[in-house]
Structure 1
Amino acid sequence: MMFKIHHLLKVISLYVILVTLLNSTINGVFGKLIELTDKNLDELVKDDDKWLLQFYTEDCKICTSFRENLEKLSELPESEFGTVINFGLVNANKNPHLVSRFSTNRNPQYYFIDKKTVYTFSVIQTYEFFHEFLKYHRWMYFPKKKGRSDPFSNFASFTGYFNYVGYFLKNYVFIYIPAQVFYSIIVMTFISILAYYSYRKHLEFEKYINEFEKNMEQKLNDHCLKYGYDPFAIIEEMDKKLKEKEETKKLKKN
């Protein structure tokens, strides 16, 4: 009887462990490291959160070798850093939108997010460096990503979608074109179309004005011929009257 109970407890324990591991894998959690993706980053990163991000690739040995140190740091208590710090991983090969948003150009590459302000910094990949970096909040001394380069800006989010095309070409045509280049091409194409349309409208308007002037001139000539007027004589007479008025004004002034 005791053997059966003991065996049952073992089975239950194994089941719980398997479910936990499966759940962690599905949710992209490695210890306390959280896998961030194109789909879940904006949901998981809250306005008041602090995050240390590592962009990595599966074939990057430096990235994977340092994973153990990141796990150790993520397991330290809140009191160690004086604040809650989340640790995130981003697979650069599978998340083109985030790669573009953060302007990632090498792996591993690290960023620190403090209340959705992103800091870029150079690192020495040692446990001691990161421990002091986080403990003394040294990210605050590094440059921030601002304006269009801010990963949480609308511009960065919008242009990031063009990187899907870049990754498609990279995987199937072996040519990588950055998202910013695609964006520039689209903007230049739009400007070219707009300029062409404006030029066509200008030509149409110019043609309309010329035709209007010709029609008015023809109507004037027809009217003068009908009533026996000489248009040139009328113009000369008007010029004479204007000159007479000017001379009269000059005489009055003198």
Structure 2
Amino acid sequence: MTFTLDRFDLDAFVRSTLAEDLGDGGDITSAAVIPADAVFDGVMDSREAIVVAGLGIAEAFFRALDPDVAIERLVEDGAFVPGGTDLLRLRGKARALLTAERSALNTVQHLSGIATMTRSYVDAIAGTGTILLDTRKTIPGLRVLEKYATRMGGATNHRMGLWDAAMIKDNHVAVAGSVGEAVRRAVDAGIANIIVEVDRIDQIAPALDAGATHLLLDNMGPDTLREAVKLVDGRVPTEASGGVRLDTIRAIAQSGVTYVSVGRLTQSAPAADIGLDFTAA
């Protein structure tokens, strides 16, 4: 089954990633060391407990260089697996598989690292009713993939970019003159989804009165968040954001906010420890 995501060109991603690695000379190591007709069996496995993400992309790298490679996917994206779990088994042309190895591993390690960190945050707020959101703090060019990985970890995607919702932040307010004026301009522009960042309780009423459809409560402690949630009284969704850590997220969620957004899911997740071991057939 071909891996597909909206707004993501898998073939172009594979081509550009392999081109970056191969340069003008190709894989000179494999060409020199590995016979052209050599066949290898390989297993991709986790060396630690992880939430898996990106296996379909890894398969695309191998198939790009060996269209006849035999691949058996042993787990699915989104699965939580213990260390030592085999993820993919493959058999094909040794040169091709060795050439694609790093690109495939880099992708799966990065995306699985994001999914694994995301799951830890989801688990930390289990039972509170609050939903975990990601952010736009993604590596340029990888947003669609990284937001896919947060979904595999159990989060919900926030807006994908600047185009699918308005988010009025402090600098927008500073230029517009006030929270209310900034929101009114967005309403007049016909924007349906208007997220407004507020960092003080006294900004909530002007934002709501002007037509905000979602409030982002920035860098507020749990007590202030509870006050804000009470004031909003369910009229629009509320989102806690800013400096959220694994050790603080539950107290934040227990304030009653609808969402908590965490930038470090995509900004700071460590790569998962995943390897690919080949054995001569």
Normalised-by-shorter TM-score class? under 0.3
Q: Which has the larger radius of gyration?
A: 1
Hey, which of these two has a bigger chunk of strand by percent? Answer: 2
Larger relative contact order (C-alpha < 8 A, sep ≥ 6)? 2
TM-score (norm 2): 0.18
TM-score (norm 1): 0.19
